[in-house]
Structure 1
Amino acid sequence: MKITCLIACIACLPLLATAQKVSLFNGKDLSGWNIHGTEKWYVEKGELICESGPDKAYGYLSTANKYKNFVLNLQFKQEANGNSGVFFRSSIEGVKISGWQVEVAPLNSHTGGVYESYGRGWLIQPSAEAEKALKTGEWNKLKIQVIGDEVTTWLNGQQMIYFKDEKIGKGEGFIALQIHDGGGIKVRWKKFKLTQLP
């Protein structure tokens, strides 16, 4: 695993030389984001919060801009059910989203795995051992790297998945946070750091 990570890092050096830092969240309001659906999205004490509304339906908060190749670091804390996620290279009509989601969910529910919405379903799930990296009720550090057709995720420093997918390689679109349907969900997000790659 260490050798694989080293090779991946060396391969990324030319990309990092032309990388661009992007501010996704200003800690004050939802500038640069678009709300989809009737669920709740708001800012409190410098944190971005998603919470189920009275409709108990799907909800999304998407970036106004599209991102193809990037490294995204963020932190999340699940205060309730927590079934949420981070979409990438996605598009949306109403509250029907097309794209790929890095799962954020309760323990042993595949946080860090990748699910294709309205498509093939689960593409890859982390191992049972890797799933232990999730800290229930605490802040967690999530890192998502998407370069070409390669996707890698880490949770609290633990690599969760790595895989290549031709369809993802052709995908384009925004980054989005999700509220799953069913109600009772509340997740806090902070410290978004996105590095856009060529």
Structure 2
Amino acid sequence: MKKSYLLGLIALGYCLFSSKNASAQSQSLFNGKDLKGWHADVPEMDKNKEARLPFVVRDGMLVSLGTPGGHLITDASYQNFRLELEYRFAGKPGNCGALVFVSTPRALYEMFPKSIEVQMMHTNAGDFWCIQEDIEVPDMEKRRGPREKWGVNGDKLRRIPNLTDGSEKPVGEWNKMTIECLGNTIKVWVNDDFVNYGYNATAATGQIALQAEGSEVEFRKVLLTPIKKLSK
């Protein structure tokens, strides 16, 4: 079965399910004026009092300046939600990410919080990266590599590539990423293309984080919508 056909079936079934369960009470996690509701974790700022905060508000947008490396983390934790992001690389394209199920700070390399990252790196948007948490996907060995090398830390195979090519807009244009977390499953869309699906994650709740990881990225939308699970 072709990947596109399989993804189409998964997306159709899940969209039908989500449409029945989504709450209308959406909330913007960014107020357009300041970083209220978030806190930054930037290791460089611990030792260098001259280091800048790599997250700012500019022209009504939340901006990750890229350096020094770190994370902007919500004060609150969330479970069963849809997260909608609109973002673009402000200059040279590079790396960034949206993290879900965030918990212990600096759990990997004394930098990355325990979480599952949904990659926003240019040309790789929608990949999963396992950061001291794990997740399964269809065709696991084909996509992640030899089973004996899987892992969530160190030199283990932590990346699970997305299933599409060409879903991102040209550099400078706005991209839309939708991440749906329901129980311990994660679904990802990039510009309305269904690009990844994971299940049996080792976490189902946590904070949300945005990265500073080398490249300047502008966010004009960070919208969260709770998803209410149907009772049996």
Partner of 1:125: 161
Residues 166 and 32 from structure 1, CA distance in 2 versus in 1: closer, same or farther, beyond 3 angstroms?
closer
Matches within 5 A, 1:1-198: 1-16=7-22, 18=23, 20-37=25-42, 38=45, 39-53=53-67, 56=68, 58-79=69-90, 80-93=92-105, 95-107=111-123, 110-118=124-132, 119=152, 121-122=157-158, 124-127=160-163, 130-135=164-169, 136-167=171-202, 170-180=203-213, 183=214, 185-198=215-228
1 CA distance for matches of 2:195 and 2:13?
A: 17
Residues 166 and 177 from structure 1, CA distance in 2 versus in 1: closer, same or farther, beyond 3 angstroms?
closer
2 CA distance for matches of 1:24 and 1:105?
A: 22
Q: Secondary structure of 1:10's partner?
A: helix
Q: Normalising by structure 2, report the TM-score.
A: 0.72
- Write the letter of the residue equivalent to 1:42: V
2 CA distance for matches of 1:2 and 1:88?
A: 24
- Write the letter of the residue equivalent to 2:70: G
Shift of 1:49: 0.4
Unaligned 5+ residue runs, structure 2? 1-6, 46-52, 133-151
Moved over 6 A (4+): none
2 CA distance for matches of 1:67 and 1:50?
A: 22
Shift of 1:143: 0.6
2 CA distance for matches of 1:59 and 1:149?
A: 25
**Larger Rg belongs to:** 2
Shift of 1:191: 1.6
1 CA distance for matches of 2:41 and 2:105?
A: 9
- Write the letter of the residue equivalent to 1:148: G
Shift of 1:137: 2.6
2 CA distance for matches of 1:67 and 1:157?
A: 23
Q: Secondary structure of 1:191's partner?
A: strand
Question: CA deviation digits over 1:19-70, x for unaligned, max 9?
Answer: 53222011111011101114411011111001134xx4x3100111101111
Superposed CA RMSD = 2.0
- Write the letter of the residue equivalent to 2:129: Y
Q: Secondary structure of 1:93's partner?
A: coil
What percentage of residue pairs aligned between the two structures are identical? 29
2 CA distance for matches of 1:104 and 1:49?
A: 14
- Write the letter of the residue equivalent to 1:132: G
Q: Normalising by structure 1, report the TM-score.
A: 0.84
- Write the letter of the residue equivalent to 2:130: E
1 CA distance for matches of 2:198 and 2:181?
A: 10
Shift of 1:13: 4.3
Instruction: Name the structure where strand makes up a greater proportion of residues.
Output: 1
Say whether the 8 Å CA contact 1:72–1:145 is kept in structure 2.
Answer: yes
